[in-house]
Amino acid sequence: MASSLQDVAHHVNWYTDPQRLLSNETLFLCQVMARGSVDDLIVAQRYYTPEAFRRAILNAPPGLFSKRAWAYWTWMLLDASNHPMPERFPGANQLDWRHAK
């Protein structure tokens, strides 16, 4: 079980220095929601308010959340499971290279 925020930061993002990750609240909370365990969430909730989690999901970076995690967290935090996921390439889903001119 993670006992500190630094342990949680290392668990959800092992390739970045925990202090650097913790300095970016939005990225840290999004990674906890997308990759963290229940224990990680419990520790994070001791230090961050539900409003901080809401701000994080509203400013989430593209490509971090799975569709399932996104649907769950937007439903839990925003009461809107149909809130659009951030896209890496906005509008790319409508492009079809077979019909390009």
Convert the pLDDT of each residue in 70-95 to its tens digit: 999 999 999 876 788 888 776 666 65
Convert the pLDDT of each residue in 37-47 to its tens digit: 999 999 999 99
Task: Return all residues near 55 (Cβ < 8 A) that are at least 6 apart.
Answer: 25, 26
Report the mean per-residue pLDDT for the chain: 88
What are the φ and ψ backbone dihedral angles of 100, each rounded to 5 degrees?
A: -75, 145
Query: With 80 as the cut, is the pLDDT of residue 1 above it?
Result: no
pTM: 0.84
User: What's the maximum distance between 2 C-alpha atoms anywhere in the chain?
Assistant: 56
| Confidence at residue 87, expressed as pLDDT on a 0 to 100 scale | 80
Radius of gyration of the chain (CA): 16
